[in-house]
Amino acid sequence: MPGVPRSACYWMAGHTEAERVDPIAGDVHAVRRGSHERCGAGKIKAALERRGVTASGRRVGNIMRERGMRARTRADGPNRTGRGPTRPGSRTSSAASSTAASRAPTWPVA
């Protein structure tokens, strides 16, 4: 590496905390902040391409994972549990399962 003393290179090789910082990590964070933290790696990659920054989806995903970023999903919003339909009468609602159990035939026990 030109301009870097040999001793610094040896020191960096022995210290894991001196990791390489990805140059597009700041851009990824800026796009995510601009989207109100809703975008995943695919949409962030597309936004970076519109800005003229070339990066693969895997690279963007790795940056997001390393920094603890996660795309918001429908289940993350208000009044969402992520457990599926909750309308009364639907097959997975608790009301449907309790009424189905009450309509089960009763067999005489001998």
Is 48 within 8 Å of 28 (Cβ atoms)?
A: yes
Mean pLDDT across 53-58? 92
Mean pLDDT of the chain: 77
Q: What is the pLDDT of residue 11?
A: 78
Residue 85 pLDDT > 70, yes or no?
no
Whether the full predicted model's pTM is greater than 0.85, yes or no, is no
Length of the chain: 110
Q: What is the pLDDT of residue 31?
A: 92
Is 48 within 8 Å of 27 (Cβ atoms)?
A: yes
The distance of Cα 77 from the centroid of its chain, to the nearest Å, equals 14
Q: What 3-state DSSP class applies to 78?
A: coil
Least confident of 19-28, 55-64, 78-87: 78-87
Using 50, 70 and 90 to split pLDDT, how confident is the model at 86?
A: low
What long-range pairs does 69-73 form, CB within 8 A, spacing at least 24? Answer: 69/28, 69/29, 69/32, 69/37, 71/38, 71/39, 71/40, 71/41, 72/37, 72/38
CA 91 to CA 98: how far, in whole Å?
Answer: 11
